[in-house]
Structure 1
Amino acid sequence: MAETSPGRVAPEQRETWTHNTGFILAAIGSAVGLGNIWRFPGVAYESGGGAFLIPYLVALLTAGIPILFLDYAIGHRYRGAAPLAYRRMRKGMEPLGWFQIMLSFVISVYYAAVIAWSLSYFVFAFDLRWGEDTAGFFVGEYLQVGDPEVSTTIVSAVAIPLVLVWLAVLVILALGVANGVQKVNMVFIPLLAVAFAGLVVRALTLDGAMDGLDAFFTPDWGALTDLSVWIAAYSQIFFSLSIAFGIMVTYASYQRRKANMTSSGLVVAFANSSFELLAGIGVFATLGFLAFQQNVAIDELEGLTGPILSFVTFPAVISQMPGGNIFGIVFFASLVMAGFTSLISILLGVAATVQEKFGLSRRAAAISVSAVCAVISIGLFSTTSGLLALDTVDQFANNVGIVLSAILMTVLVVWVVRKGELLRSHLNAVSTFPLGRWWLALLGIVSPVFLLVMLGQKLVSLIQDGYEGLPAWYIGVFGWGTIAFVSVMAVVLAALPWKGRDEPDFRPWPALEEEHRS
């Protein structure tokens, strides 16, 4: 039951997390995903090794945590998924909320496919079905990758687990925040922590593990003078925390009115970074074993990041280690859990937005969103062109779409509608860790500047060099077309009339003097 007080309207008895631990575990589940396992270790290794931890920590403190707090403040104060929350802040801000939700929609349809791959490999690990040629198995026998085209040939080995993923998503979303999302995270996150810790311990006992850790942690101090290393650090923090595309706005909107928001945010941020460091240790200890087996140096290995690391390099390692079956089963189970909790968080924002905008019941919103996403996901990413389409859409959605979203969010909130001081006061009113004006400086100056540099560098690279040698028409359809689709849909959906409870008389709580002045 939502709290009420004189002078404000209760926000429709909004569902809430039953306790703060549930919210924290769900937020950690959202932040800890596949990118923590397969992206961070490779980025750190290529960006100065142990020296990379310095720009990584700076990026966490100056951009990651401040923007995470901004997401929390918007969702918690305005009690809605991104479009409704931004609309309540200022009516003209609704398109930004839809831009973020459409990014979540796009990401969900291909992210589910990677979870399906992990589910398949969980089964394959029992008998090491990938054989000795793990690369050939992954792109050939399993995914059946073809030329860059729009294929309609469905690969049943991908489609079947993908259907199972979407059925599970439907059930959890229909159960709601407390009975669905929270309960899944209460089980999966502790289980993931235990399972992955066990993998790391096992990896550390392998021959060559220490050589792998030496390669991972040996600092290249000269890298600290390279701007691209700092951009890589901000990029990693930014993408791993699930910020700026509506997820944490939605999660915070279900938090209880008197919840301690900033302390929870610190727990989530540092838990996410701790898991990334743990993943780096586990991955490079394992790669050290592979290098030892092949009698080569770590830098001579291929596939140190991304899907190739998980579905080509790791299966090769698993096949060579004693007890590889068990290691493989636990590793791919961990990928499934990490990916699934992130997928649920992405889709909760989409389902909540549909429910709020169109006046649907929770179950109807869950069914409609899951059905639409499943059809697109299966029709596009379980085909023989699925891998190429997934890689291209992911590149543009993350490196262009989300970065642009964060720039718009920070600039509009701080400089255009000038709600930064109000949101700072809100967080300070409900939290034990107070935010000073330094928070506004980081949000309004430091974060946008670094994000603009990141975006500019990426746009120049994509325009001049293309992407992965793919044909221009293919990049236009799946790359630039993704950004165009998200942008157009954001405007169109914001223009539609609200059929749900827009609550024009909604009054945020607590009442703050800055609200009246603005």
Structure 2
Amino acid sequence: MSRTTAAEAVPAREQWTGQIGFILAALGSAVGLGNIWRFPGVAYENGGGAFLIPYLVALLTAGIPILFLDYAIGHRFRGSAPLAFRRIAGKLGEGVGWFQVMICVFIAIYYTAVLAWASSYFVFSWDLRWGDDPAGFFTGDYLQVAAAPITFDFVPSVLIPLVIMWIVALVVLGAGVVKGVQRANVVFIPLLVIGFLILVIRALFLPGAIDGLTAFFTPDFAALADPSVWIAAYSQIFFSLSVAFGIMVTYASYRRRRVNLTAPGLVVAFGNSSFELLAGIGVFSTLGFFAHQQGIGVGELEGLTGVALSFMTFPAIVSQMPGGEWFGALFFGALVLAGLTSLISILEVVIAAVRDKFGLTRAQVVYGLGGVLAVVSILLFATTSGLTALDTIDNWANNIGIVASAIAVSIVILWVRRAGPELAGHLSVLSTFKVGRIWLALVSVVAPVVLVYMLVSKIVELLTDGYSGYPTAYLGIAGWGSVLLMIVGAVVLTATRWRHDPELFEPWPATATLTTKGARR
């Protein structure tokens, strides 16, 4: 791309006020719905207590190394994903950055719908409105799920909270990085931790809680011989830490020049995993109570992960608990807080990228583009076919989009651009925890090999078996069509002219002065 005639550099970035603000914001992004409704079930189905072994291996060999990679790129090249990747690897890199932005666009428009459901159920908890048939209430009375995969019949009970969630998210983002994003996380993350701790402590004293914990932690070491268990561990770590789709690149770009990068990264990584373990204890203590009430084993229960766990199984449990109204309010309140902080980070990726590219103000992007995304979200997910669309797009965005993005980053940044030593030097010069050859091997060889295996196996599975019994034509439109739109959007946005010249930039510390001691280890 030729330089703009204005020959103006991209304006200086907003900055977090300090280390704590960044850590809480990064934790707010990492700790999301998946920590609560995905990890416990995945662990239970993949070896129970034995799953913690591949989980820890995945954290150390892929999660933390890729998290450091995102930090290094964002902090050294001071930009959103497209800007930072453009500065490190030209147009090809910018294309990867815009692909990550497009992933965030698709995730944001459906993620908000789940927040709408959780906020509704927070209200429903006080009168146990789902009655004796929580599953029927969720798909019938509440979502009014239609048999047709595509409808345009709006559901008022979803529409209203969906609009409210969009307003809350956009108001927070409109206030800026410090007064909005940081301040929200400083308030929401402590509230989330305190509320969830209360929930877990209450769950531990329920009849049958020990049975649930026994089921959760009992190790099945034979499962470790199954490659799918290891892939499940890498998948959980990868999706949970918010890596490879622009969030940590963007957040790191708001850090001050002279700042420790790796030590806070370790805090975020282990803090996120600690919350997942806490969620597993709370969820399975509660499931143990539910099984005890029905006189069956925990393994005989259905709906142990995802939407079914949160909006079908948990309401049924709450209805049988003494003081269930409070327990339900705590659970769904935790879902709202965890989801809202993650949604804010996802939208910030989009906002930062558009601001960098087109030189717009934060208010213009937040309320202009954000308003458009809100309308699209309402049209797709406030309808009787919203659950089907959400389930499909979520599967393709995460299992195809994000994994492909991570592979592309490794190829473009580490193999083609060969920027690994420079990024390792940047991390080591500024941080107390140094990185070197082992880190380079993990991010450029080990992680990509695992990710390629994950991507290929998932593509083969989707092409062979389809998904959730949905019509093939629908999956082609909503699933593969979503990925195609991400690619097309990335290509078009890469070809668009920059308002300010992204090349007018000098990374600090200067490349020539970076120590290579870390990279030589």
Hey, what does 1:402 align to over in structure 2? 402
The whole-number CA distance in structure 2 between the counterparts of 1:90 and 1:115 is 36
Hey, what does 2:59 align to over in structure 1? 60
Residue 307 of structure 2 corresponds to residue 307 of structure 1 = yes
Hey, what does 1:412 align to over in structure 2? 412
Hey, what does 1:5 align to over in structure 2? none
Question: Residues 436-483 of structure 1, C-alpha deviation per residue, up to 9 Å, x if partnerless?
Answer: 210010011100111111111111110000001110111001100011
Hey, what does 1:199 align to over in structure 2? 199
The whole-number CA distance in structure 2 between the counterparts of 1:314 and 1:386 is 21
- 1:402, CA displacement in angstroms? 0.3
Hey, what does 2:494 align to over in structure 1? 494
Please tell me whether the aligned partners of residues 155 and 383 of structure 2 are also in contact (alpha carbons under 8 angstroms): yes
Hey, what does 1:27 align to over in structure 2? 26
The whole-number CA distance in structure 2 between the counterparts of 1:516 and 1:10 is 28
Hey, what does 1:82 align to over in structure 2? 81
How many residue pairs get matched? 508
The whole-number CA distance in structure 1 between the counterparts of 2:237 and 2:275 is 12
Please tell me whether the aligned partners of residues 148 and 388 of structure 1 are also in contact (alpha carbons under 8 angstroms): no
- 1:10, CA displacement in angstroms? 8.8
Please tell me whether the aligned partners of residues 85 and 96 of structure 2 are also in contact (alpha carbons under 8 angstroms): yes
- 1:372, CA displacement in angstroms? 1.4
The whole-number CA distance in structure 2 between the counterparts of 1:148 and 1:478 is 14
- 1:515, CA displacement in angstroms? 8.4
Hey, what does 2:464 align to over in structure 1? 464
Matched residue type, 2:23:
I
Question: Residues 217-248 of structure 1, C-alpha deviation per residue, up to 9 Å, x if partnerless?
Answer: 00000000000000000000000000000011
Which has the larger displacement, 287-296 or 503-512? 503-512
The whole-number CA distance in structure 2 between the counterparts of 1:13 and 1:486 is 28
Hey, what does 1:382 align to over in structure 2? 382
* TM-score for both structures, normalised by structure 1: 0.97
Hey, what does 1:265 align to over in structure 2? 265
Matched residue type, 1:243:
V
The whole-number CA distance in structure 2 between the counterparts of 1:331 and 1:414 is 42
Matched residue type, 2:130:
W
Residue 49 of structure 2 corresponds to residue 50 of structure 1 = yes
Please tell me whether the aligned partners of residues 10 and 356 of structure 2 are also in contact (alpha carbons under 8 angstroms): no
Matched residue type, 2:336:
V
Matched residue type, 2:289:
F
Tell me: CA distance 1:472–1:259, structure 2 relative to 1, closer, same or farther (3 Å).
Answer: same
The whole-number CA distance in structure 1 between the counterparts of 2:200 and 2:347 is 30
Question: Residues 399-456 of structure 1, C-alpha deviation per residue, up to 9 Å, x if partnerless?
Answer: 0110000011112211110001100101111111100210010011100111111111
Matched residue type, 1:271:
G
The whole-number CA distance in structure 2 between the counterparts of 1:455 and 1:14 is 35
1:116-515 alignment runs, 5 A limit: 116-499=116-499, 501-513=500-512
- 1:61, CA displacement in angstroms? 0.3
* TM-score for both structures, normalised by structure 2: 0.96
What secondary structure is seen at the aligned counterpart in 2 of 1:126?
A: coil
Please tell me whether the aligned partners of residues 148 and 474 of structure 1 are also in contact (alpha carbons under 8 angstroms): no
Hey, what does 1:94 align to over in structure 2? 94
Question: Residues 305-355 of structure 1, C-alpha deviation per residue, up to 9 Å, x if partnerless?
Answer: 001100000000001000000111111111000000000000001011111
Question: Residues 124-144 of structure 1, C-alpha deviation per residue, up to 9 Å, x if partnerless?
Answer: 001010101000000000000
- 1:169, CA displacement in angstroms? 1.4
Matched residue type, 1:85:
A
- 1:11, CA displacement in angstroms? 6.3
Please list every run of 5 or more consecutive structure 2 residues that lacks an aligned counterpart in the other structure.
1-7, 517-521
Please tell me whether the aligned partners of residues 146 and 385 of structure 1 are also in contact (alpha carbons under 8 angstroms): yes
Matched residue type, 2:76:
R
- 1:60, CA displacement in angstroms? 0.3
What secondary structure is seen at the aligned counterpart in 2 of 1:42?
A: helix
Please tell me whether the aligned partners of residues 108 and 343 of structure 1 are also in contact (alpha carbons under 8 angstroms): yes
Hey, what does 1:3 align to over in structure 2? none
The whole-number CA distance in structure 1 between the counterparts of 2:255 and 2:368 is 25
Matched residue type, 2:264:
S
The whole-number CA distance in structure 1 between the counterparts of 2:320 and 2:125 is 13
Question: Residues 277-296 of structure 1, C-alpha deviation per residue, up to 9 Å, x if partnerless?
Answer: 00000000000000000001
- 1:516, CA displacement in angstroms? 13
The whole-number CA distance in structure 2 between the counterparts of 1:215 and 1:273 is 20
Matched residue type, 1:382:
A
The whole-number CA distance in structure 2 between the counterparts of 1:209 and 1:512 is 56
The whole-number CA distance in structure 2 between the counterparts of 1:11 and 1:145 is 47
The whole-number CA distance in structure 2 between the counterparts of 1:393 and 1:471 is 14
The whole-number CA distance in structure 1 between the counterparts of 2:117 and 2:10 is 40
Please tell me whether the aligned partners of residues 11 and 79 of structure 1 are also in contact (alpha carbons under 8 angstroms): no
- Which aligned runs of 4 or more in structure 1 are off by greater than 4 angstroms? 514-517
The whole-number CA distance in structure 2 between the counterparts of 1:330 and 1:62 is 35
- 1:147, CA displacement in angstroms? 1.5
Matched residue type, 1:387:
L
Matched residue type, 2:505:
F
Matched residue type, 1:165:
M
The whole-number CA distance in structure 2 between the counterparts of 1:10 and 1:255 is 19
Please tell me whether the aligned partners of residues 155 and 384 of structure 1 are also in contact (alpha carbons under 8 angstroms): yes
Tell me: CA distance 1:322–1:133, structure 2 relative to 1, closer, same or farther (3 Å).
Answer: same
Structure 1 vs Structure 2: percent identity of aligned residues? 62
The whole-number CA distance in structure 2 between the counterparts of 1:301 and 1:266 is 36
What secondary structure is seen at the aligned counterpart in 1 of 2:100?
A: helix
Please tell me whether the aligned partners of residues 89 and 412 of structure 2 are also in contact (alpha carbons under 8 angstroms): no
The whole-number CA distance in structure 2 between the counterparts of 1:160 and 1:196 is 26
- 1:91, CA displacement in angstroms? 1.4
